[in-house]
Structure 1
């Protein structure tokens, strides 16, 4: 009776230990694998998607804003300078030409 009791106790203890270790290991491995696979994929997908979207949006917005601001300012400054220079020169040239033409004509008719 004692032998059987001790043997069964020992057997159950050893095998339950082994069984629990195996089952726990298998369960944990499977569950963690499944969990990691599903949630890490979801997390990475969401996180990367969100961050890439945010950072690209921010970068593009900032960069384009800076670029446009710098280059449009430069462009406008240069071209308005050129435009004003050209228009004023053309206007002065035309005006002086017209003035001289009109008044020389008038002068010649009056005094000559």
Structure 2
């Protein structure tokens, strides 16, 4: 499993709208994420700075990278562009974060 962590930026005043849109995540978007190897995906908000911190576990990088070229993903980017900092193609501006520590213990059976 590959762990990825990244930072995005929510525009001020859009916390509730961001949460609402994700609570109503389109079924076809959920399916596309799964098809492209997403196993665990969580997004946190730092309310002091409006920074969004994403944590994602994927099966393989090459498969995951194909997600950005899907029609449903581009449609999602367009849908979210009015409440986030984005690139000209409406993809979110992201900054990859580097793991510097991990404490993970497998459950013993």
TM-score (norm 1): 0.16
Q: Which has the higher contact order (CA 8 A, sep 6+)?
A: 2
Q: Highest Rg: 1 or 2?
A: 1
Please identify which structure carries the higher helix content: 1
Please identify which structure carries the higher strand content: 2
